[in-house]
Structure 1
Amino acid sequence: MELRVLKYFLMVAREENITKAAELLHITQPTLSRQLIQLEDELGVQLFERKQHSIELTSEGMLF
């Protein structure tokens, strides 16, 4: 796990929107989404509940 990916996680958790977080991080939305999925795979838990136009932390995401 890289510090950069933790920074991505925190930005998405704060913004509750992947597109907005990607803009603030100056990366593309698909790149950010891929990094979050890889983080979830690495940890073996779902950190976010993805909705149509927003994203929320799961209970595991809150603990992380």
Structure 2
Amino acid sequence: MSITHLQSFVAVAEERHVGRAARRLHLTQPPLSRHILALEDELGTRLFERTRQGMRLLPAGEVFLHHARRILAEVDTAVVTVRGLATRDVDG
């Protein structure tokens, strides 16, 4: 599972539409759709229901969204922390 797949999942979940999520992530729709399908395949369950209006989170998707947001927040925190240490090392 990659950070890109998690970011893609969160964007689609929040936008509820692959096209809008793709624009938000500066991607085209086909790779974004592949990210979602790969993630669902890896997890062994569908996360979204595809509708004419867009994408609706299924119960597994609702649960996974909470975890994905937390994981991405931890990654952001780790990056900020390490960059702060690197800056101190350069300045020190």
Report the TM range for the smaller structure's normalisation: over 0.9
How many percent of aligned residue pairs carry the same amino acid? Answer: 45
Q: Which structure shows the bigger proportion of residues in helix conformation?
A: 2
CA displacement 1:27-56 (0-9 Å, x = unmatched): 110110011001000000100000113101
Spell out structure 1 runs of 4+ moving beyond 2 A.
none
Unaligned runs of 5+ in 1: none
Whichever residue aligns with residue 34 of structure 2, its letter is R
Read off the aligned partner of 2:2 and give its amino acid letter.
E
Partner residue in 1 for 2:40: 40
Mapped to 1, the partners of 2:57 and 2:46 lie a distance apart of: 9
Distance 2:23 2:53 in 1: 15
Aligned residue-pair number:
64
Q: CA RMSD in A?
A: 0.6
